[in-house]
């Protein structure tokens, strides 16, 4: 039988396998290093692009913030103006209400027997102060107010004798009346109050 010594072949094969494994290991390290460099460069590029975008967005935010502040100021001024217009409308309505009340009072006063000294009005009541010759004149005036379409619940708060310098004695009085609601353009024909 022939014997062949395969030992040098096996040693050479082992050396070749070791060389191949070392080469693969170093090639793997080089490939991984190249991949890491490529990935790092890509991330750096994205970071730079993001910073540029962030700077542009901050510039736009500053521009829009300035515009938003102007819009906010305009809205604030508009609200103030609307409040003023609402107040003017309210005052105009109150002025017309007072005009209607005064016209009605002028019609209800007992002529040449009494006169009114003051009138105070709030949202629900009217207080009248005046002077009359006697109690029946005050009663006539109260009756005229009761028959009015603008007043109800006429209440005599006080009535007292007042003497003037010429020795004339007159009755001063104070009345409290409940107002009826006056609709705009009602012409003095109100509805019963609350």
Task: List the one residue out of 156, 158, 160, 153 whose CA is nearest residue 180.
Answer: 153
Mean pLDDT of the chain: 85
First-to-last alpha carbon distance for the chain, in angstroms, is 136
* Spatial distance between the Cα atoms of 83 and 89, rounded to a whole number of angstroms: 10
Residue-level pLDDT at 108: 86
pLDDT at 149 over 60: yes
Q: How confident is the model at residue 8 (pLDDT cuts 50, 70, 90)?
A: low
Q: What is the pLDDT of residues 67-96, one digit of tens each?
A: 999 999 999 999 999 999 999 988 887 777
Do 131 and 114 contact (CB within 8 A), yes or no? yes
Point out which residues pair with 191 in neighbouring strands: 181
The CA distance from 176 to 166, in Å, is 30
Mean pLDDT value of segment 24-35: 96
Q: Which of 47-61, 90-104, 161-175, 178-192 has the lowest mean pLDDT?
A: 178-192
Give the pLDDT score at 35. Answer: 96
Across the range 129-146, mean pLDDT stands at 89
| Whole-number Å distance between alpha carbons of 60 and 53 | 10
> Measured between alpha carbons, how far is 110 from 112 in angstroms, rounded to an integer?
7
189 pLDDT tier (thresholds 50, 70, 90):
very low
Classified as helix, coil or strand, 153 is strand
């Amino acid at each position: 039988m022939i014997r062949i010594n395969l030992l040098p072949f096996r040693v050479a094969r082992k050396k070749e396998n070791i060389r191949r494994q070392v080469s693969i290991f170093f090639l793997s390290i080089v490939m991984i290093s190249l991949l890491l460099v490529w990935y790092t460069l890509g991330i750096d590029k994205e970071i730079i692009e993001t910073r540029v975008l962030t700077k542009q967005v901050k510039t736009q935010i500053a521009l829009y913030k300035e515009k938003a502040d102007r819009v906010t100021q305009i809205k604030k001024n508009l609200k103030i103006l609307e409040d003023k217009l609402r107040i003017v409308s309210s005052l105009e309505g109150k002025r017309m209400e007072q005009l209607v009340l005064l016209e009605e009072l002028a019609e209800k006063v007992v002529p040449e027997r009494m006169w009114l000294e003051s009138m105070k009005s709030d949202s629900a009541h009217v207080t009248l102060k005046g002077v009359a010759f006697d109690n029946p004149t005050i009663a006539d005036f109260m009756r005229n107010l009761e028959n009015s379409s603008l007043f109800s619940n006429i209440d005599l708060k006080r009535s007292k004798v007042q003497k003037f310098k010429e020795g004339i004695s007159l009755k001063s009085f104070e009345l409290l009346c409940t107002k009826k609601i006056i609709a705009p353009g009602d012409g003095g024909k109100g509805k019963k109050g609350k």
